Amino acid sequence: MIGAGIKRGTAELAVLSVLQKGPLHGYELARRIEQQTNGALRFTLAALYPMLYRMEQQRWIRGTWETSANGRKRRCYRLTPAGKKKLSPLEREWAELFRALQRLTKAAHA
Amino acid sequence: MPDWQELVRQRLAGLELAAAEKEEVHAELAAHLEETYEASVKEGVNEQAAVQRALLQVSNWQDLRQKIQTARTRENIMNDRVRQLWLPGFVTFLLSTSLLALFEVFGAKPPVLVKVGQLPAVLLFIPWLLSLPIIGALGAYLSHRAGGSSRAVFSSIVFPVLPFLFSILLILPVSLIFGRFIAHSPAPLSLLMALLGWVLAPGGALLAGGLATQFVLSRRLDSRRIAGS
């Protein structure tokens, strides 16, 4: 299980990565992240929406109301050009951190 | 099944947003709770337990209200670019120009004239130059604290000399091309010496303080990241 501090740091990366594949509404976004991380990252409503609103203010994502096939109105989030630009350095930064930690762990076990 | 929108409205009572924006938030959160509830029912959970399971999504509504309010209002006021570049830049610019004026009025008279051979003299305000590393450090700190990139931090540090640089870069070609047609046109060589006195020397002083601060702050952040992980 991944600790809370790391989860907070990776949350934005998770949202941006999932939205890169296409627009999603909040519930579906949380479900996809949980599925794709085998339950390691799980967002409750209370954790998800303040973060989505903050990311929207930073113009990394944009939310628009859309009506689904069954007539339900939902707010769908999509990645903005600024969000796409933010994603690659964020991915690099985290990949670098994980590689560094792996090296550290290997060195500790050697 | 409860009226989710009414439930959210009641539990988020006191959310200080514009009426339309508040309704949007209520509708969005209600839709999320409703889908959580429906997913549980589909899994075979009884209705009452499904409601309870949906409500477990929020353990503290007051905290959620506060977080939503902060996310949707405070960050409206200043976006990233303002916090990371313009604000630190203007602070350093204001401080450096105010200090220059103060030194000129109260103490640093006359400024030091440095003359090398036949070249035009360079005017240097030594006390002002000595104060610039602190201002550069402040610019780096403010930009770094706001999460500025290396480029934003660098721009915040050298911000006070940018107006001088642009002025000289603007006047220099004009002086080179049209100098002989303009009375009292500054000689290109004088402009180059002004570049030294008003851009390179203060820029170097600002960078000395700013880059040192940036280095220290980055190292602190790195060690905190490693400690946190």
Residues of B with CB under 8 A from a CB of A: 24-25, 27-29, 31-33, 35-36, 56-60, 63-64, 67-68, 70-72, 75-76, 79-80, 225, 228-229
Residue A51 has pLDDT above 80, yes or no: yes
Quote ipTM for the complex.
0.85
Q: Which residues of B touch A27 (CB under 8 A)?
A: 31-32, 35-36
Do B189 and B87 sit in the same domain of this protein? yes
B132 shares its domain with B152:
yes
| CATH number of this structure's domain A4-109 | 1.10.10.10
Which residues 6+ apart lie within 8 Å of B221 measured at CB?
Answer: none
Burial class (CB in 10 A: 0-12, 13-18, 19+), A77: buried
Answer for the pair B193, B119: CB distance below 8 angstroms, yes or no.
yes
Query: B130 and B145: one domain?
Result: yes
If asked whether residues B108 and B221 sit together in one domain, one would say yes
Residues B117 and B195 in one domain: yes
User: Which structural domain, as residue segments, surrounds residue B12?
Assistant: 4-77
Identify the domain boundary among B29, B55, B77.
B77
Mean pLDDT of chain A: 85
Average pLDDT over residues B139-168: 89
**Is-contact B169 B100, C-beta < 8 A?**
no
| Res A9 pLDDT > 70 | no
| Same domain? B66 vs B150 | no
Task: Please enumerate in sequence order all residues whose Cβ is within 8 A of that of A38, keeping only pairs 6 or more positions apart, or say none.
Answer: none
Total structural domains within chain B: 2
**pTM of this prediction?**
0.56
A38 neighbors A26 (Cβ within 8 angstroms)? no
Show which of B50, B77, B104 is a domain's final residue.
Answer: B77
Average pLDDT over residues B48-72: 91
Q: How far is A46 from chain B (nearest CA, A)?
A: 5
Cis peptide bond upstream of B110, omega within 30: yes
Q: Which of B36, B58, B77 corresponds to the end of one domain?
A: B77
The residue count of chain A comes to: 110
Q: Are residues B70 and B99 in the same domain?
A: no
| Residue A70 scores a pLDDT above 90 | no
DSSP for A39-75?
Answer: TSS---HHHHHHHHHHHHHTTSEEEEEEE-TTS-EEE
Q: Are residues B134 and B61 in the same domain?
A: no
pLDDT at site B228: 42
pLDDT (mean) for A10-32: 93
Same domain? For B144 and B60 the reply is no
Res B159: pLDDT: 95
A49, A94, A98, A104: best mutation site toward chain B, by most B Cβ within 10 Å?
A49
Residue B209 tokens read as 């303080």
- pLDDT of residue A11 exceeding 70: yes
Q: Span A60-87, mean pLDDT?
A: 88
Same domain for B111 and B54:
no
